[in-house]
Amino acid sequence: MRPGLQRWTTAVWAALVAITLTAYAMGLDADNLRGGVHVVTTGILVLALTKVRIIMRSFMEVGSAPAVLRWVCDGWIAAVGALLLTIYWMAVSSDAAVAAGYGH
């Protein structure tokens, strides 16, 4: 492996580890962080989607692919993220409505 490539791979790996540790720390202290568990869950999901993008761009060679493929991949990540966040927040609001006596 070329030295420049090895340094790049190590830097990307270190960034992925840092994101993982950040998400882990957020999860450990979710009850004490501003916004509570639901905001922390959203943040952790955003961090996970960020990791997906880094992995796709760095290790799946999408970063050097034609612009259209990069846009499609970014769009896919955004669509999946939006879908997951929508489902999560719909469930949260549904639980809140039930707890308040508005649901069954």
Q: State residue 78's pLDDT score.
A: 97
Torsion region of 61: left, alpha or beta (phi above 0 gives left; psi -120 to 50 gives alpha)? left
Model pLDDT for residues 20-57, shown as the tens digit of each residue: 999 999 888 777 777 678 888 999 999 999 999 999 99
**Local structure of residue 49 (DSSP, 8 states):** H
What confidence tier does 16 reach under pLDDT thresholds 50, 70, 90? very high
**Domain region containing 76:** 3-99
The verdict on residue 80 lying in a domain is: yes
Angle (CA) 84 88 93, round 5°: 150
Higher pLDDT, 33 or 65: 65
Number of domains in the chain: 1
The verdict on residue 10 lying in a domain is: yes
Amino acid at 97: A
Can you tell me the distance from the alpha carbon of 40 to that of 4, in angstroms, rounded to the nearest whole number?
A: 36
The verdict on residue 44 lying in a domain is: yes
The verdict on residue 76 lying in a domain is: yes
CB neighbour list of residue 15: distance below 8 Å, 6 or more residues apart: 54
